[in-house]
Amino acid sequence: MFRDYLARRVLMMVPTLLGLSLLIFLLSRVMPGDPILLALGPEARPEQVEQLRREMGLDRPLHVQYLRYLQGVLRGDFGRSLRTHRPVAQDLRDFLPATVELTSVAMLFAILIGVPLGVTAAVRRDGMVDHLSRWVALSGVAMPQFWLAILLQLVFGYYLRQLPLIGRGSIVPARITGLYLVDSLVTGDLAAFWNSLRHLVLPAFTLSLATAAQIMRMTRAGMVGQMRRDYVLAARSYGLPYNLVVYRYMLKNAITSTLTIIGLTYGFLLGNCFVVETVFAWPGIAAYGAHAVIYKDFNAVVAVTLVVGVAYAIVNLAIDVLYGFLDPRVRYAPE
């Protein structure tokens, strides 16, 4: 049963991604401006324009371009970047791990901040922690990321000089996955691990705050809803310890809506953390994608969108699976 459920979810990803690829491919072709003229510069001669158009396959009909592109994507070939002059797949290989690492650590921060605060706020409703968490949530959502980023840089990087202002790290571990924390741990390079961690703290915290606020509010709301349920009353009347009831039973039931937020936000952050990547000079895929749009680097635009789309789909698949794991009604319900 669970295998069928999983297979259905995976199969549903295929038309979604195909539709996304077609949509973004067409959009990238109708964006204003000639990418070839932009890439070659204003003085380009007609023979230059013609050769590059041919090299990029833009001299072919649109449907042929799309089919060739799809064939390439299946082989892991996303075409060449007009801006970096090399295969987009290579660019993704360099930039994607940086964003995955940043987003993952930010999400970890958000969960570590949001869930405990949400639970505590629910358990001690209208108490000090509840008011404080409400204030933190409001600030986290309201504060513009670029402002918070610069503020943190000023305090911890410029005045206190406790954490690095920019970059991913001055000690680069031997590449295995491209995730510095993972690679440094696998290779036992502790200096690189601490160096990477220190570089991650400010950008990851900046990125995490708004998500932490959402997680906190969702957890609180879910927990408050559970408090009035009969099973809680029964568990308490049997004399089970309060913390056991809260964390073992109530949280498991309350966390599903929070999981939705985590899944959606993780996918969203992958493609939208360009403000944080820009301020902290973090060499990630979001900033790469944003600049690809500005320069009309169409192969890069399509590739970044597809990769983010795939990541989004995978994360949401994982969340769906987790739903099924946490709540048997989901995996057994007839569709």
Stretch that binds other proteins, among 16-24, 41-49, 59-67, 323-331 (CB under 8 A): 41-49
Mask for 97-126, x = binds other proteins (CB under 8 A):
---------------xx-xx--x-------
Q: How far is the CB of 4 from other proteins (least distance, A)?
A: 34
> Should residue 326 be labelled a site residue for other proteins when binding is judged by CB under 8 A?
no
Q: How far is the CB of 329 from other proteins (least distance, A)?
A: 25
> Should residue 58 be labelled a site residue for other proteins when binding is judged by CB under 8 A?
no
Residues 135, 146, 325, 332: which binds other proteins (CB under 8 A)? 146
Q: Of 317 and 322, which CB lies nearer to other proteins in the complex structure? A: 322
Residues 20, 24, 101, 296: which binds other proteins (CB under 8 A)? 296
- How many of the chain's residues bind other proteins (CB under 8 A)? 63
Closest by CA position to 298, among listed 96, 30, 100: 30
The pairs formed by 156-164 with CB atoms below 8 angstroms and a separation of 24 or more are: 156/202, 157/202, 163/198, 163/199, 163/201, 163/202, 164/198, 164/199, 164/202
Residues 3, 4, 11, 47: which binds other proteins (CB under 8 A)? 47
Q: Which residues pair with 87 in a beta bridge?
A: 80
**CA angle (297, 300, 301) in 5-degree steps:** 80
Distances from the Cα of 68 to the Cαs of 27, 89, 224, in angstroms? 17, 16, 54
Q: What is the CA radius of gyration of the chain?
A: 24
**Binders in 177-236 for other proteins, by CB under 8 A:** 190-191, 194-195, 197-198, 201
Q: How far is the CB of 207 from other proteins (least distance, A)?
A: 15
273 exposed, middle or buried (CB, 10 Å; 0-12, 13-18, 19+)?
A: buried
Residues 6, 29, 48, 322: which binds other proteins (CB under 8 A)? 48
| Assigned token pair, 130 | 């509840």
Cα gap 165→150, rounded to integer Å: 9
Q: Are 87 and 78 in contact (CB under 8 A)?
A: yes
Stretch that binds other proteins, among 130-138, 167-175, 314-322, 324-332 (CB under 8 A): 167-175
What phi, psi does 80 have (nearest 5°)? -100, 150
Amino acid making up residue 53: R
Q: Of 88 and 313, which CB lies nearer to other proteins in the complex structure? A: 88
Positions that interact with other proteins (CB under 8 A): 31-34, 37-45, 47-48, 51-52, 55, 83-86, 91, 94-95, 112-113, 115-116, 119, 146, 150, 153-154, 156-158, 161-163, 165-168, 170-171, 190-191, 194-195, 197-198, 201, 247, 251, 278-281, 283, 287-288, 296
